[in-house]
């Protein structure tokens, strides 16, 4: 496994995040040696879900209004339906996401996570995958959608669903280790 020693990764999430899409990627990058911050649109804690059922809460390390993308080596956008829907309406969240793409830093997004990227204006000309219901939204935003377990486009790692987490976690660690693209 690639080493992420000395790297800092931001996980951008809020209430409604799919728990396993937050916890498994976080465990993967921490196991590889990275430091991780949970960045959110509100201070305190966020409520995760296991599909439609409330699960655990997680403490926020920094609000997105105070977060600086240049402090991080990579970004993860977990899914859940409500999580990216809230994020995509927050100007600070969109600024934060755009900053990673502008700097050529690696980004991982799973399931509904790419919704936030649409509103950040960073999917045009990219090829990616997601939960199938986002296909039309991504195409309308200028992206090419593929139905694959894990797809990498110049540092952008995307996957469709929780079943794809093993491939997604492996690939984000590799891309974070490679760095800027």
The CB density around residue 12, as the number of other CB atoms within 10 Å, is: 29
Q: Is residue 1 part of a domain?
A: no
Q: Is residue 3 part of a domain?
A: no
CA distance linking residue 110 with residue 21, whole number of Å? 7
Give the count of domains, the chain. Answer: 1
pLDDT tens, residue by residue, 75-89 = 999 999 999 999 999
Contact 155, 108 (CB under 8 A): no
Verify whether residue 181 is a known catalytic residue: no
Q: Is residue 160 part of a domain?
A: yes
Q: Is residue 149 part of a domain?
A: yes
CA distance linking residue 7 with residue 37, whole number of Å? 11
CA distance linking residue 175 with residue 167, whole number of Å? 12
Catalytic residue among 112, 150, 169, 181: 112
Catalytic residue among 51, 111, 169, 181: 111
CATH number at residue 166: 3.40.50.880
Q: Is residue 140 part of a domain?
A: yes
The CB density around residue 96, as the number of other CB atoms within 10 Å, is: 24
Q: Is residue 19 part of a domain?
A: yes
Contact 10, 77 (CB under 8 A): no
Q: Is residue 44 part of a domain?
A: yes
How confident is the model at residue 117, as a pLDDT?
A: 98
In terms of Cβ atoms closer than 10 Å to its own Cβ (0-12, 13-18, 19+), residue 44 is exposed
For residue 136, what are its two tokens? 């039309």
| Domain of 16, in residue numbers | 8-178
pLDDT tens, residue by residue, 134-170 = 999 999 999 999 999 999 999 999 999 999 999 999 9
Q: Is residue 2 part of a domain?
A: no
Reference 10, options 86, 50, 55, 66; nearest CA is 66
Angle between helices 19-31 and 165-178 (to 10 degrees): 40
pLDDT tens, residue by residue, 7-56 = 999 999 999 999 999 999 999 999 999 999 999 999 999 999 999 999 99
Verify whether residue 169 is a known catalytic residue: no
Reference 22, options 42, 46, 52; nearest CA is 46
- Parallel, antiparallel or unpaired: strands 144-145 and 127-128: parallel
Phi, psi torsion values for 143, nearest 5 degrees: -95, 160
pLDDT tier, 181 (very low <50, low <70, confident <90, very high otherwise): confident
């Amino acid at each position: 496994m690639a080493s992420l020693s000395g790297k800092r990764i931001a996980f951008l999430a809020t209430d409604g995040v799919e728990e396993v899409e937050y916890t498994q990627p976080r465990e993967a990058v921490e196991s590889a040696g990275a430091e991780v911050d949970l960045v959110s649109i509100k201070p305190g804690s966020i409520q995760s879900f296991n599909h439609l059922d409330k699960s655990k809460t997680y403490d926020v390390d920094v609000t997105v209004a105070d977060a600086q993308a240049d402090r991080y080596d990579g970004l993860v956008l977990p899914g859940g339906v409500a999580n990216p829907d809230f994020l995509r309406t927050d100007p600070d969240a969109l600024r934060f996401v755009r900053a990673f793409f502008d700097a050529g830093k690696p980004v991982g997004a799973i399931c509904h996570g790419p919704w936030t990227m649409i509103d950040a204006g960073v999917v045009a000309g990219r090829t990616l995958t997601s939960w199938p219901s986002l296909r039309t939204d991504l195409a309308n935003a200028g992206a090419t959608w593929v139905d694959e377990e894990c797809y990498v486009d110049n540092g952008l790692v995307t996957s469709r669903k929780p079943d794809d987490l093993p491939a997604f976690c492996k690939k984000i660690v590799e891309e974070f280790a490679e760095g800027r693209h």
